[in-house]
Structure 1
């Protein structure tokens, strides 16, 4: 059983913004035998902190969740936040017992470490979504990396800390591709979830001529609570802040400053997607949302 603090830039329901943070949350809620979400921390990334925080609180109210929400960073260097204080204090109170799942900017994590230098050691582990290992190309169009490049110094601090880190890289998330047709097999057209994410199918089609989208952040959630769905590959990452400003995880050459992280690869995309959809279905059933 994983005790999780979810640190995310949730914009599910905000037109023009990504939906996968919300899908990661639903997946965790749909697997209560594997995990417990202790709290959520908000951060900038998909949108500014005002939008992310307000949207997250509205979503939690809609879902009837009795999970506390802590407002986080508005930008790099914003260290005096509710989220930073909570992260540092919660992990100090239960060293080695709390997993941190971060699917937005990494600023809250570095801010917590600035408050308590033992934070990176106190957390059981860190699982993140972010980073590219080569150009991220979707149908001939380049997609920029977001999460790690938002605050390269914070990302560097975590990687250099020696804490156990698992990273769902953008390239490794690409097989987690869901289409409207696939979801319509599990949910009716008037289901709450379909209404909450439908705009993103159109957005991805317009931007990248894509027939669906990758559920990026949900991959990190699955890697944390269901490692059996993945082949785990070690990745030696160069500790180079200049590269991290582009979110680029360069493979380190021998003898250069480096961090060893786990980079899970989806073992069977079809089985993976079936598990993801089943998790969303269970969450909707448990929350009393129409399917």
Structure 2
């Protein structure tokens, strides 16, 4: 049976690539998409999700819009990374189908409570929607089959020296989420920076035809960061979180206690990771089987590319 996956996201270059993986893997059933303000404003992340849904041809998957900004702080985006639209230079046809009209928080609660123990929840943006859902119905932490995030780091940050963007964007929400009654699987920067779309990967992607030309390659090559040590290409951060659900064998993980810094002068949004804690609340990914990861991702993308041109 396919894994039933609910994706809370803020598309976003790598969120779009994560959606592509979730849609294309026959071992994943994408049962819902919820959007949050993050990489760009909510109106843009929602528009992008709707356009991707129709472009990639999964129109029956419901899309619900959620929180426009963090619980208590001023909204701060990452348009300098993802472009003003959120999808870099990619321009997709306008969507003809609308959002559900149900708030993302209620959609998350409804999907998880309808079939307890079956929905794998993945969050690839700020954790605002998840925190609000937990506050409204704490039991979803017990009823979700699993909960995986792209966010945090046990070493360095990218929004600041200490904090990764998704946690930094709403640290109060992140604290609620990590303190809830579940074990968070944290796919952080330590892991995702191993998944860089280097020139060899891009050359292989270019052979996938129209889908690669119109979507995959532009999304994978829009941003260049010379300040990242050992830069070899744009990291596909959010793809890793979706890949973990279907292919956990590609990841080495360690139990840890993760606490969120919300008041530090220089460290707000930092994920404080203690691998020696006697009370772990998270499974933290540390090492990726890079060749296996790209073999898996490229196989799925090739499958969608073939259907796209059929």
TM-score (norm 2): 0.79
CA shift for structure 1 position 224: 1.4
Judge conservation of contact 1:201–1:211 (CA < 8 Å) in 2.
no
| Equivalent in the alignment of 1:36 | 29
| Equivalent in the alignment of 1:2 | 3
Matched, 1:48 2:26: no
Distance 2:71 2:63 in 1: 21
Specify the SS of the correspondent of 2:148.
Answer: strand
Specify the SS of the correspondent of 1:203.
Answer: coil
Where in structure 1 are there 5+ consecutive unaligned residues?
12-18
Judge conservation of contact 2:251–2:288 (CA < 8 Å) in 1.
yes
- Of stretches 169-178 and 202-211 in structure 1, the one that deviates more from structure 2 is 202-211
CA shift for structure 1 position 213: 0.8
Distance 2:253 2:247 in 1: 12
Distance 1:255 1:38 in 2: 35
- CA deviation string 1:160-194 (max 9, x = no partner): 11212101011111111112442222433863233
**Count of residues in correspondence between the two structures:** 276
Distance 1:27 1:199 in 2: 13
Matched, 1:130 2:151: yes
Judge conservation of contact 2:171–2:261 (CA < 8 Å) in 1.
no
TM-score (norm 1): 0.84
CA shift for structure 1 position 142: 5.9
Judge conservation of contact 1:128–1:165 (CA < 8 Å) in 2.
yes
| Equivalent in the alignment of 1:73 | 67
| Equivalent in the alignment of 1:203 | 223
CA shift for structure 1 position 72: 1.1
Gap change, CA 1:214 and 1:278, over 3 Å in 2: same
Gap change, CA 1:160 and 1:195, over 3 Å in 2: same
Judge conservation of contact 1:6–1:39 (CA < 8 Å) in 2.
yes
Gap change, CA 1:129 and 1:205, over 3 Å in 2: closer
1:93 counterpart (114, 120, 124): 114
Distance 1:183 1:144 in 2: 29
TM-align CA RMSD: 2.9
Judge conservation of contact 1:27–1:221 (CA < 8 Å) in 2.
yes
